[in-house]
Amino acid sequence: MGKRYHCDYCDKTMVAAPSIVKIHIKGLVHQKLVQEHYQQFKDPETILKEEAIKKPCLRFASGQCQFGAICRFSHYTREQLIELRQYVTSKGKAEFDNRTLSFQDLYQKLQNDKCKLQDNADDKNSTTLYDSNGVTHVLPWTYNATLESYDENLPPSIKKMKLEDFKDAEIVEWG
Ligand SMILES: [Zn+2]
Ligand SMILES: [Zn+2]
């Protein structure tokens, strides 16, 4: 028996001759299975982006489309696309909420740690806190009041930070 080629996508074995393998790889069934394989790893955002620009597949609607995942028309119904869009939107919103919450949690945690520290410290007046990231905080956080009168004229590095300033921040990127 000569060398055999096994296609994992189709779970099919054939003679390992370049011409035969080439024909198989160009075949509709193979292409369809490869696409369907990768489709399952796509995130909803990608699927939505791809499907939203396609026209609906009329053949699929009547149950006769043989192209599956490689069809250039969309196999998603209008309702499915609306659902998908709602899912993507709500997922984005949830991530945004989590991020905002995590900043408030962090602040709360620092405040709690500060109370703990003050309870336990030998020096009852100590307001210096070392967090788990090795950052030193002197609490409570204060801001030089005379700077406030300059407001918008200040360079960003010494401008007073408000909670709103952190809402769009990519906390992940801060390392
Ligand atoms: Zn194949
Ligand atoms: Zn189709």
CA of 82 to the centre of ligand 2 (A): 19
Same domain, 19 and 67: yes
138 with 162, same domain? Answer: yes
Last residue of a domain, one of 67, 84, 101: 84
Sign of CA dihedral 148, 154, 157, 159: positive
Final residue of a structural domain among 48, 67, 84: 84
Q: What is the 3-state secondary structure (H, E, C) of 126-154?
A: CCEEECCCCCEEECCCCCCHHHHCCHHHC
Nearest ligand to residue 71 Cα:
2
My answer on whether 104 and 70 are in the same domain is: no
Quote the domain boundaries for residue 105. 85-174
Instruction: Give the rounded percent of residues in the chain with a pLDDT score beyond 90.
Output: 42
Q: Where a domain ends, among 56, 84, 112?
A: 84
Q: Which residues, listed in sequence order, are joined to residue 130 by a DSSP beta bridge? A: 136
Q: What is the pLDDT of residue 48?
A: 93
How many structural domains compose the chain?
Answer: 2
The CA distance from 37 to 43, in Å, is 13
Ligand 2 centroid to residue 54 C-alpha, Å: 10
Along the chain (175 residues), what's the average pLDDT of each consecutive run of 10 residues? 90 95 95 92 92 93 91 92 91 78 76 67 59 70 70 73 67 59
Residues, Cβ < 5 Å to ion ligand 2: 57, 60, 65, 67, 71, 73
Tokens 């990127």 correspond to 173
pTM for this structure? 0.49
pLDDT at 150: 73
Query: Are 74 and 111 within one domain?
Result: no
Q: CB within 8 A of 104, min separation 6: which ones?
A: 163
